[in-house]
Amino acid sequence: MSGQLKEVRSRIKSVTSTQQITKAMKMVSAAKLRRAQDAIIQMRPYSKKLQEMLSNIVSSVSSDVSMPLADVRAPERILMIPITSDRGLCGGYNANVIKLTREAILTNYSEQQKKGNVTILPIGKKGYEYFLRYGYKVNSDYWTIFSDLSFDNVRNAAVYAQNAFLNKEYDRVELVYSQFRNAATQVFIVEPYLPIPRVEQVKGGKNVDFIFEPSMAELLMELMPKILNTQVYKAVLDANASEHGARMTAMDKASENANEMLKSLKISYNRARQAAITTELTEIVSGAAALQG
């Protein structure tokens, strides 16, 4: 009986220590989430308007204007950019990004994958380790971005994708990441990156008539890369906020589960202690009765 009490006490101590860790991690994630949330909320309207403007321009200009980054080609060579985190303990966040990337490849680019024409450019350690382990063709140059998250580091990855598209190393580039909604909600999406998607013209509607100053070609050459860099940076900020939200939620749930486990263990401990005391009393009474007899 004493062995059982010792085991239950050990488990209570272990669960209590784990609960302290999960509570601390929740507080750290909550603090990081506030900063990450502020960053993406400030960035999102700016990025959205730039993307809309770029897509509208690409859709409205005449076909004789050269726009290499909007050049639609047969999708023979594909670059997928999944954005995961560097660390775990954030529920199903990383698994969902990886799963969506695999599903997108299987659904849309299975033939290209069989030919070895699908390349993964992971951002985040978890995605990098997974795709490398399971034999995917991986570009290892930019997976460490979250170790020093800045616009310049993200821009390097975006510029690589743009140059590779221009050089026809890839015919299509797609981003896979989680859009941040709130701490408990993330929306996992596959977003076309290159070629720049065109906006469908509404039937019977009029084309937007833009006035360009300086010339259209000069403006597009200057604006396109900057807007595309901003698009990737927005996706990384979305992913960063989603990671901290997912981790905060996961640690909160883990703390609740630890609390429920502690209640159950304390009941078990009290029952075992009560049984031990009852056994000792029975032995004392039996011994006293034997002496009187």
- All residues at 6 or more sequence positions from 175 whose CB lies less than 8 Å from its CB, including other chains: 81, 83, 190, 191, 193, 231, 232, 235
φ and ψ at residue 191, rounded to 5 degrees: -115, 125
All residues at 6 or more sequence positions from 194 whose CB lies less than 8 Å from its CB, including other chains: 69, 161, 162, 165, 170, 172, 173, 228
CB atoms within 10 A of CB 268: 16
Residue 172: beta bridge partners? 78
Place of tokens 């599903």: 103
90 is a catalytic site residue? yes
Strand order in the sheet with 118-120: 137-138, 118-120, 78-82, 172-182, 185-194
| Angstrom distance (rounded) from CA 110 to CA 75 | 12
Point out the catalytic residue in the list 90, 98, 145, 190: 90
* H helices, E strands: number in the chain: 6, 5
Partner residues linked to 190 by β-bridges: 176
Active-site residue set: 90
